[in-house]
């Protein structure tokens, strides 16, 4: 069986972080993914989905340190549904993405291209590395345990001046 989620979206709010009794970090993100398409009438349309994302441990600490509202991020993880009891004693269910990998992409919803003020553009994962730190960039790759992640200044970001392709229209008439 396979339970895998891959999302690229923008944060709708700053990360919300708390710690368990044993000191484990739990970071919650609200991630928006927007799909652009042509409607039946031929007009460009958008549909936005909101996702609850949970990052545990060091990955949560990194998200809290580097991400801010509007930051573009890649999330990989799995779907989990948890049961909890509300104040009235009724059972409630919440479905969320439990992230095991995060990559800060540096863009924003507005297409600013530079990313969030604290964004380093790094690659952070909770396990295996997919390509690691290839290309000699200044971006650390973290597996779920430890490592010192200091915020990078924008001058060290090799993609800071890259174009943002978020405004490129989607054309259904492409022959491939």
For the segment 113-124, what is each residue's pLDDT rounded down to a tens digit? 444 344 344 555
What tokens appear for 6 in the block?
């891959």
Which residues are bridge partners to 125 per DSSP?
101
- What radius of gyration do the chain's Cα atoms show? 18
Helix boundaries (H) for the chain: 57-66
Q: How far is CA 6 from CA 75, 80, 109, in A?
A: 6, 14, 18
95-132 b/e (C-beta count within 10 Å ≥ 16 → b): ebbbbbbbbbbbbbbeeebbbbeebbbbbbbbeeeeee
Q: What is the pTM of this model?
A: 0.62
Among residues 48, 107, 50, the alpha carbon closest in space to that of 74 is found at 107
Looking at residue 43, what is its pLDDT?
92
Confidence (pLDDT) at 106: 78
Per-domain boundaries in the chain:
5-167
Cβ–Cβ < 8 Å for 31, 53: yes
Question: CATH for 5-167, among 2.160.20.10, 3.60.15.10, 2.40.50.140, 2.60.40.1220?
Answer: 2.40.50.140
Q: What is the pLDDT of residue 167?
A: 52
Please give the pLDDT value at position 125. 58
Q: Which stretches of the chain score pLDDT less than 70? A: 107-176
The C-alpha torsion from 115 through 116 and 117 to 118, rounded to 10°, is -110
**Which candidate, 120, 87, 92, 91, places its Cα nearest to that of 106?**
120
């Amino acid at each position: 069986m396979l339970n895998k989620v891959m999302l690229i979206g923008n944060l709708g709010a700053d990360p919300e972080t708390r710690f368990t009794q044993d000191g484990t970090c739990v970071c919650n993100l609200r991630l928006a993914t927007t799909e652009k398409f042509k409607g039946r009438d031929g007009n460009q349309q958008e549909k936005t989905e909101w996702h609850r994302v949970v990052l545990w441990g060091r990955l949560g600490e990194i998200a809290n340190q580097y991400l801010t509202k509007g930051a573009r991020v890649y999330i990989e993880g799995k779907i989990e549904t948890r049961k909890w009891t509300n104040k009235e004693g009724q059972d409630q269910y919440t479905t969320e993405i439990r992230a095991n990998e995060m990559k800060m992409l540096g863009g924003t919803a507005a297409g600013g291209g530079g990313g969030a003020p604290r964004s380093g553009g790094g690659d952070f994962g909770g396990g295996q590395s997919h390509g690691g730190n290839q290309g000699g960039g200044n971006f650390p790759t973290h597996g779920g345990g430890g490592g010192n992640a200091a915020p990078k200044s924008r001058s060290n970001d090799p993609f800071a001046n890259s174009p943002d392709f978020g405004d490129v229209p989607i054309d259904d008439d492409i022959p491939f």
